[in-house]
A and B are shown apart, each in its own frame.
Chain A
Amino acid sequence: MPRAASFRVLTLTWEFPPLIVGGLGMACYGLVRAMLEMGVQVVLVLPSRKPVFFELSDVSHADQLDPAILDPDLKRGYGMARFGNTLDRFRFLEVLCPPVAYSPGALTPGMYRSQIESILPHVDFDVIHAHDWLTYEAGLYGKGVTGKPLVCHVHSTEYDRACGAGDQRIHQVERMGLETADRVVTVSRFTADRVRDCYSIDPGRIRVVHNAYFMEYPEPSRGRLFREPVVLFMGRMTCQKGPDIFLEVARRVLIRHRMVRFLMAGEGDMMDRLVHRSAHSSLGNRVLFTGFLNREGVSRILAVSDILLAPSITDPFNITVLEAMSRGLVAVVSRRSGVTEVVRHILTADYWDVEDMAGMILSLLKNPGKRRRMGELAKQEAERIHWHDRALKMRELYGELVC
């Protein structure tokens, strides 16, 4: 039986910085770093067509990401090549930028599984930790071959992402993974309930480990972009996140109060529609789009924003809210968001109640003193939230399985 501190975890994920699409990448990064800090070792597998993985034993390795390469030719080529940054190295190793599932040329659970097949004989670990559905099949395969326990980590379900029925193939993968896993970890009680209700998973096997956040870039000094305060949307512009609701709230606020700007940061399948809708409302340049932001961009935009409006229709967690709070923003958050379970100093609303949210924003705009005080409280609260506590819970859970 291994000592708790020397656990080796086979971590399967398809998103990890610098490959970032949504919250999964930052959640894995935060958790992996915190576990490395407490001495847990991680074998990280990112999707690639090549037999490549990453052995991490020190917190610095989470950024260095030095690959273990099984193919000798590839290894030689890699040794001789010169790279500008990690993305260049990833491109060389064909570590894939996560695509949309089941679209042509996209990553599929089967592809991820064949990668594990080639890696498995060469790695040593105590437990398998599979993040989100794309990796579940690989996790199951690993469990089947090695008999090691499997943890399936639910960052979101197809029910969340699709805003509706979703893709049956994905449901099947999720169901199979969650039914077979030794433990199911969800990022909120909200998601635990969903997993229980939608996939009939025994609550005794479910554990909630809330997300935390990690800001890699130091806080820039706060600045103003405009005379007016800025209300921010930040995230994927997809149905789940309610960007169209954000726009409707913006419209209602602007009818009554012109001294405000609405910034929409991110991109996604609804982007074009949102651009047209904002233009249709003739809001001039009161509503602006920034496109996709890298992590540095996130840090910079938070430094010039005042209020975060996150009207998600369904959101297992929403790390963005914590990031915004940590930079002193007041967050107005949909009740159907897991993050509301871990913080108090936010304003919550029903995602469909645009009038309520508009009222909250208006009251914050007209009362800068209140806004400042709330922002300060939010910041203090966020500063008490750390990945370390989440990693402790994870380690405890591994202990239950390995003993």
Chain B
Amino acid sequence: MLNVALCFHVHQPYRLGHIRVYDRTACGEIFDDALNRAMVERVTRVCYLPAGELFCSLIERYGPDFKIALSITGTVVEQLRDWAPEAREQFRKLAGTGSLEFIGETYYHSLFSLFDREEFVEQVHMHLEMLKDEYDLTPQVFRNTELLYDDRVSDYLSAMGQFRVVLCEDAAAGCAISGRPCRSYNERHMLLPRNHVLTDDIAFRFQDREWSEYPLTAEKFTARLERYYEEGGHDHDRFLLLYMDYETLGEHILSDSGIFQFFEHLAEIILLHDSMRFVWPSEVRSCNMETLEKLFVKHPVSWADSKKDHGAWLSSDLQRNAMGTLLEMVSRIRSQGDADLLETVRRLSSSDHFYCMFPWKGDADAEVHRHFSSYGSPEDAYVRYLNALTVLEQHLE
């Protein structure tokens, strides 16, 4: 059987406003509320509502056989609460169907697994609480920000006891064995690697006119799934993790390209297929842990950029100095204990801020960074960011 785990990631950061550091800005004015609201309202209209409707109808049609998993950050849930209550309601409705599995992560979509265990664990706890409050659910599966994984992630999670399965990028496992879960080096977690090729067929190549499979249909994609399954020698426990941004539906890929119909049709074909079915990532636990390969991951691997490491956030001078300043500010604010400042600095810890500081000129990766930035340039993003941290520091003094 080919076990298809279809996962989506839902996230919106708090984008920064024009901050006048010489003007004693109030903490609340660091973020561009008008812009954030407009972004959330837009993505609600083009993605969250229509995608939610699609999945609700599929769940209604196919019952418990249709399964998806969602990772949803605290920062997007907060913004939906403030600006798009209808979208928030719909996520809760989806959660109530029982067909959704929720995945744990850091509340703020941050990079602390690389730097600060205490803050990382705290943010994971905050996210667990949010899932409990918002959806009354407790996850068993964890994904770190942008699938960033190294052995430390498993170590840090072990102490929490909560999680059994951690999702990672197939590059972390050596792509050759993707489709088989692994064990973390400390044997505390099962690791389920994402299949980046088949995911990108949808998330990146769906609209690529140069691609031989264009236009991608559910039939063609299923044929690719079959080939993938056969390559594995009809392995009994072959898993396939397809994991992409939820915003792929309707936002990254516009609805008139047929992306919604694609998923609708794909669900139908997979559910009618003799050797395919939908699973949740947690079902990987049916595997015998003892038989799985033990995976040592010394250097961080993520799903971002072609290098698939932490370079998307931490390779340039701008990014490194910004991170150094953030870490200093987090530890100062934490030791001082002001709850409002702590909340703001945590919003500033979202990886998106660093992502926008990546150089825009160069290769295809650079183009992706440019596309997803809401600022005028990487330098603009950096200047605003440092000023934002400085405003916090002013309030600290």
Contact = CB atoms under 8 A, between A and B. Distances in A.
Contacts of B316: 279
Interface string A226-252: 110000000000000000000000000
A275 B397 contact: no
B321 A283 contact: yes
B321 A279 contact: yes
Nearest to A301: B22
B374 interface: no
Contact of A280 (B21, B24, B317, B328): B317
B320 interface: yes
Interface string B297-327: 0000000000000000000111011101100
Contacts of A226: 393-394, 397
A289 B317 contact: no
A275 B378 CA distance: 10
B382 interface: yes
A55 B377 CA distance: 42
Interface stretch (B195-203, B231-239, B383-391): B383-391
B224 interface: no
Contact of A271 (B20, B321, B379, B397): B379
B23 interface: yes
B318 A275 contact: yes
By size class, the interface of chain B is: 20 to 34
B390 A285 contact: yes
B374 to A, nearest CB: 17
B319 to A, nearest CB: 8
User: Could you tell me the dominant secondary structure of chain B's interface residues?
Assistant: helix
A144 interface: no
Contacts of B390: 285, 288
A279 B320 contact: yes
Contacts of A225: 21-22, 24, 394
Given A226-B394, A279-B382, A285-B386, A300 B23 contact: yes
Interface of B: 18, 20-24, 316-318, 320-322, 324-325, 328, 377, 379, 382-383, 386-387, 389-390, 393-394, 397
7 contacts: A226-B394, A226-B397, A275-B318, A279-B321, A282-B320, A284-B324, A290-B21
A290 B18 CA distance: 9
A367 B316 CA distance: 37
A285 B23 contact: no
Given A282-B320, A284-B321, A290 B22 contact: yes
- Report which residue of A223, A275, A297, A304 has the largest number of chain B beta carbons within 10 angstroms of its beta carbon: A275
B317 A279 contact: yes
A272 B359 CA distance: 11
Contacts of B377: 272
Contacts of A223: 24
Contacts of A297: 20, 22
Contacts of A300: 22-23
B328 A284 contact: yes
Contacts of A283: 321
Interface string A283-309: 111001111000001001100100000
Nearest to A264: B383
A284 B328 CA distance: 9
Contacts of A280: 317, 321
B397 A276 contact: no
Closest 9 CB pairs of A and B: A279-B317, A279-B321, A280-B317, A275-B379, A301-B22, A279-B318, A284-B325, A289-B383, A272-B379
B318 A290 contact: no
A263 interface: yes
Nearest to B382: A275
- Report which residue of B20, B22, B389 has the largest number of chain A beta carbons within 10 angstroms of its beta carbon: B22
A291 B390 CA distance: 15
A297 B394 CA distance: 19
A300 B22 CA distance: 7
A288 B21 contact: yes
A289 B20 CA distance: 9
A288 B386 CA distance: 7
A208 to B, nearest CB: 35
A35 to B, nearest CB: 33
A282 B24 CA distance: 25
A227 B390 CA distance: 12
A279 B325 CA distance: 10
A263 B318 contact: no
A148 B194 CA distance: 80
Contact of B20 (A227, A275, A290): A290
Contact of A227 (B325, B382, B397): B397
B21 to A, nearest CB: 6
A285 B325 contact: yes
Nearest to A261: B390
Contacts of B317: 276, 279-280
Contacts of B387: 288-290
A300 B21 CA distance: 11
Contacts of A284: 321, 324-325, 328
Contacts of B394: 225-226
A283 B318 CA distance: 11
Contacts of B322: 279
Contacts of B320: 279, 282
Contacts of A278: 321
Contacts of B386: 285, 288-289
Given A284-B321, A285-B390, 7 more contacts: A226-B397, A279-B316, A279-B317, A285-B389, A285-B393, A288-B387, A291-B18
Interface string A247-275: 00000000000000001010000011001
A301 B21 CA distance: 9
A272 B316 CA distance: 13
Nearest to B389: A285
- Report which residue of A227, A265, A284, A304 has the largest number of chain B beta carbons within 10 angstroms of its beta carbon: A284
Given A225-B22, A279-B318, A291 B328 contact: no
A291 B383 CA distance: 9
Nearest to B387: A288
A265 B20 CA distance: 11
Nearest to A276: B317
A63 B363 CA distance: 50
A37 B323 CA distance: 55
Nearest to A271: B379
B22 A276 contact: no
A263 B321 contact: no
A227 B394 CA distance: 9
Contacts of A227: 397
A297 B19 CA distance: 12
A22 to B, nearest CB: 20
Nearest to A230: B22
B118 to A, nearest CB: 21
A304 B321 CA distance: 25
Contacts of B383: 275, 288-289, 291
Interface in A357-378: none
Contacts of B393: 226, 285
Contacts of B324: 282, 284
A279 B18 CA distance: 19
Contacts of A276: 317-318, 379
A117 to B, nearest CB: 39
